[in-house]
Structure 1
Amino acid sequence: MKDTFKHIFNFRHLSLFTVMFLFVMNLSAAESFYESYSDSERLVIAGAYMAVSEQYEELGEKDKATDYKAMAEQIFPGIGSEDMSAATPATPAEVEQVQASAPARPSGKETEAVRYFFGKLLRAVFSENKADIDSLLSTRLYLPGYDEGVKKSVVMDNVSWAFDKYELDKINPALIYKLNRLYIQSEGSSWVASIDLSEEGEQIFADEIGFYGNRHMFYFREYREGWRLIAINAETVKSIEDF
């Protein structure tokens, strides 16, 4: 596993955007990474696999579509059925988690919008949908070490390069991020989607690309044309249970 990560991290902050999302949303080679998750968290993850299955179906790659759908069914049995009402969580907290992966654009509070667009961005990377990624990026993306930001076209070049170069479906995202720990909060005129890293994920980012911290933050801002990702950063918190 260590050699695999070293191979992938042969590029630095400019490709950080791509690396972080690809780790979160790649198809996991581990069959039981989701076993400790709640039903609502399984439903969110299974929904992402179903989205990729549908994408492959549209591309005519039926074998891959079948594999992704089978994994979704394994994570959350019955997700492929037409009537999912019995599987819908009953508590407000669980309903809020499931809404993060809903395909329809939410209305109401900014937190709901940020959860939706963060999920949409993850699904876009998961299905290698460069058009959706492009639609969610601001004209510049601010990363550590790039005080003037990185042009959107340069970011997209790196996204295309990563999609073309690496076989990323062998990486278990649960080794890098705590996938059930997504937090939303306002910061000035922006809204931040933060996700915690595992101990191994923290070490890999620190050792391989010099990106330190146990929490990654994705900054969104609403413009007249819609919500856009404007920056990615990291921080170290004393306790990842504290937010």
Structure 2
Amino acid sequence: MLDSFLVRAALAGVGVGLAAAPLGCFVVWRRMAYFGDATAHAAILGIALSIAFSLPVFLGALIVALAMAVTVSLLSDRGFAMDTLLGVLAHSALAFGLVAASFLSGVRLDLMAYLFGDILAVSRGDLAVIWGGAVLVLGLLTWRWSALLMATLNADLAQASGIDPRREQLVLTLALACVVAVSIKVVGVLLIAAMLVVPAAAARPLARTPEAMALIAAVIGAASALGGLLASYRFDTPTGPTMVCVAALCFALTALAGGRR
């Protein structure tokens, strides 16, 4: 079954949708959309470094994404405004990554595939990495769900309940870096934040509880991946951007439905 590139692409898209959308709920609740962008943009630098040192692309992207997330967390306590800090680091990391990629002599680097994804070229090994990362992220969110939710709703109340908000922030950081690393092949670094935020935002008008919002977001994320793949195959459009377009249409529909209700 996995010999078909369409089956591999469908499984990869569903894996990314299931992992990114529930995590995206916390990104939406904490208003961390730009944080996701910064972490994703840093992955380009990780890709260039991993190719230069003959390391797996997933490993390089994961290490640099983690370094970016930790740097943002540390500098945010030093008096820098968060939006300014994220703007500086996100665009700097993207620029340094593109410059570093230009120094890779003798290596053919398809930047378009890394920027916008190349889901149709997913291999069995990529599929194992994507689903391994998805299971890790979903397991981490399930394990820390109550603590993460408490720290998101009220940091002071979480502290009084014996929950360390900074530790929960670190858990989210780890999960976000993992999703970024496994999503590069599917939607590319420029569209990862969209797969985090858009399905979660689409689920919001339909949900009455946080758990319901996470489940609905996961369904919308997986459906957007499959719908985008089908539309891309039918109309010969770029697959990663088409998946985001389908997710955006889902958001428009749920927003209208929520407004009517």
Structure 2-normalised TM-score?
0.30
Query: 1 or 2 for the larger relative contact order (CA 8 Å, sep ≥6)?
Result: 2
Structure 1-normalised TM-score?
0.32
Q: Which structure: greater helix fraction?
A: 2
